[in-house]
Structure 1
């Protein structure tokens, strides 16, 4: 069992850290919002007063933070953990992941980038899909910890590789959400009963995890967040930035990024990303009551 520091106890991070405690690891958790740290302590973890306090003596440091600047801001604290393995599970720019890995090498800290897919339920169930970038030996060292958190764990390449695959994941998810929103809006405008329509669509080639998980929320306008519009808006910015850096045009991704930006501009940033359907319904002139 490992001594683990877990920094970032949000919607995803808290259940992930709790699963590590339940697996028998010694986990010290820290979050900028003290209430999250207290909630972690109530479920068997050790509450740390600061990030630096959390990483003191840790063999493994896991960060689950909102964006690239957050990871960069915490790096000085994490890199005090000489000889530790830093598993960054945030979704950040691939360029940031590579820069953090380089800083880690200079400081004697091994770094892998290991962003996840599967949403809050996947974090709770320990069934996340984890795409891992870094040196092969470091990825293997991280695997016993990652096995607690996910069921699909794949080494996809060197530092930054995990984040590059995550950008692909996020553009596919956002694009599919956009198409599901358009399909439901079309069906609704034609007076079709949405529940059986989704049932038959799910059984054919149009079926997908996104359709199964997000269509009910769109039908019922229940946008309790499992992944917020604000975060997907951020991720699509990373997608387009990475595409620009690589000289790759992504016209469909650019369109869905604009729709996600519209959802955010309309005040839906704290809602689940399935709230993208509200933008499509508004464009169609449908009553959203």
Structure 2
């Protein structure tokens, strides 16, 4: 049995991949809307987070924010209902401190914890090719890897608990900085008399191509893509700034690119 907490934009295709691979799945659905979206899925629906852990060999947590991870894992009784020897997988991008706090409580219940933030979108999960940055003990990661391989490829074991979150935070910082660099590039192109959309499309065929550029082109402009990604990138950048601040880490050349991203997101006329 596999439990899932957070069957939304990312979690729902995970449920489908797990069920399609022959796993029994029980999934949390608190709202009427969530229940409706799951009614046609081959999964048992439960109404409380703790119920998702009952009898589960692994529970996947795929909620939106770090605060929601703490609520689900530390305040709901989920860990207490999971069998000893089960594994809790944190797919939500957040602070390594949260993963460590969850693991400390999990240890009291005999539950192992790995952090496995994802890189990609729902379409990647549906195709079984979402990238997973996994942090945790070698034997725990080995035990849960077959479950993760149901929807993840590659499944990259980065190091001990918390390492997955640190890699994902750096990944998203670089991605955000690339969008900021594209804002600079479009400004330069304008000064050279180039049309933004034609410039961006041309760059996709050259050595400047990147996933960030592909996203920008799909949305038609740097500003459009920056605003479309603001919600998830913004929360992740808040976390990485907090973590970097704790460690007195230096963003270096990433800093002005991140400032350019902030400028691209800002409403017209604001400073």
- The two structures have a TM-score, normalised by structure 2, of 0.87
| Stretch moving more, 137-146 or 247-256 | 247-256
Q: Structure 1, unaligned stretches of length 5 or more?
A: 263-275
- CA root-mean-square deviation: 2.8
Q: Does 1:206 align with 2:208?
A: yes
Which secondary structure does the structure 1 equivalent of 2:39 belong to? Answer: helix
CA distance in 2, matches of 1:277, 1:218: 14
Report the equivalent of 1:125. Answer: 127
| Stretch moving more, 15-24 or 211-220 | 211-220
Which secondary structure does the structure 2 equivalent of 1:36 belong to? Answer: helix
Assess, with a 3 A threshold, how the Cα gap between structure 1 residues 189 and 22 changes in structure 2: closer, same or farther: farther
Report the equivalent of 2:42. Answer: 44
Q: Does 1:159 align with 2:161?
A: yes
Assess, with a 3 A threshold, how the Cα gap between structure 1 residues 228 and 207 changes in structure 2: closer, same or farther: closer
Report the equivalent of 1:18. Answer: 16
Assess, with a 3 A threshold, how the Cα gap between structure 1 residues 224 and 255 changes in structure 2: closer, same or farther: closer
Tell me how many residue pairs correspond in the alignment. Answer: 267
Report the equivalent of 1:240. Answer: 241
CA distance in 2, matches of 1:123, 1:117: 10
CA distance in 1, matches of 2:186, 2:244: 30
Which secondary structure does the structure 2 equivalent of 1:148 belong to? Answer: coil
CA distance in 1, matches of 2:217, 2:87: 39
CA distance in 1, matches of 2:25, 2:109: 23
Candidates 107, 110, 125, aligned match of 2:109? 107
Which secondary structure does the structure 1 equivalent of 2:268 belong to? Answer: helix
Report the equivalent of 1:94. Answer: 96
The offset of 1:199, in angstroms, is: 3.8
Report the equivalent of 2:184. Answer: 182
1:188–1:194 CA contact under 8 A, matched in 2: yes
Report the equivalent of 2:145. Answer: 143
CA distance in 2, matches of 1:182, 1:165: 26
CA distance in 1, matches of 2:201, 2:216: 13
CA distance in 1, matches of 2:213, 2:239: 24
CA distance in 2, matches of 1:224, 1:233: 10
Report the equivalent of 1:6. Answer: 4
Q: Structure 2, unaligned stretches of length 5 or more?
A: none
The offset of 1:149, in angstroms, is: 1.5
Per-residue CA deviations over 1:203-256 (Å, capped at 9, x if unaligned) read 33311122123322033976699x742221111011111111222121555556
Report the equivalent of 2:87. Answer: 85
The offset of 1:186, in angstroms, is: 4.3
Assess, with a 3 A threshold, how the Cα gap between structure 1 residues 202 and 237 changes in structure 2: closer, same or farther: same
CA distance in 1, matches of 2:21, 2:181: 39
1:14–1:36 CA contact under 8 A, matched in 2: no
Which secondary structure does the structure 2 equivalent of 1:197 belong to? Answer: helix
Which secondary structure does the structure 2 equivalent of 1:25 belong to? Answer: coil
Assess, with a 3 A threshold, how the Cα gap between structure 1 residues 237 and 284 changes in structure 2: closer, same or farther: closer
Per-residue CA deviations over 1:164-184 (Å, capped at 9, x if unaligned) read 111101101111122223323
Report the equivalent of 1:267. Answer: none
1:182–1:277 CA contact under 8 A, matched in 2: no
- The two structures have a TM-score, normalised by structure 1, of 0.82
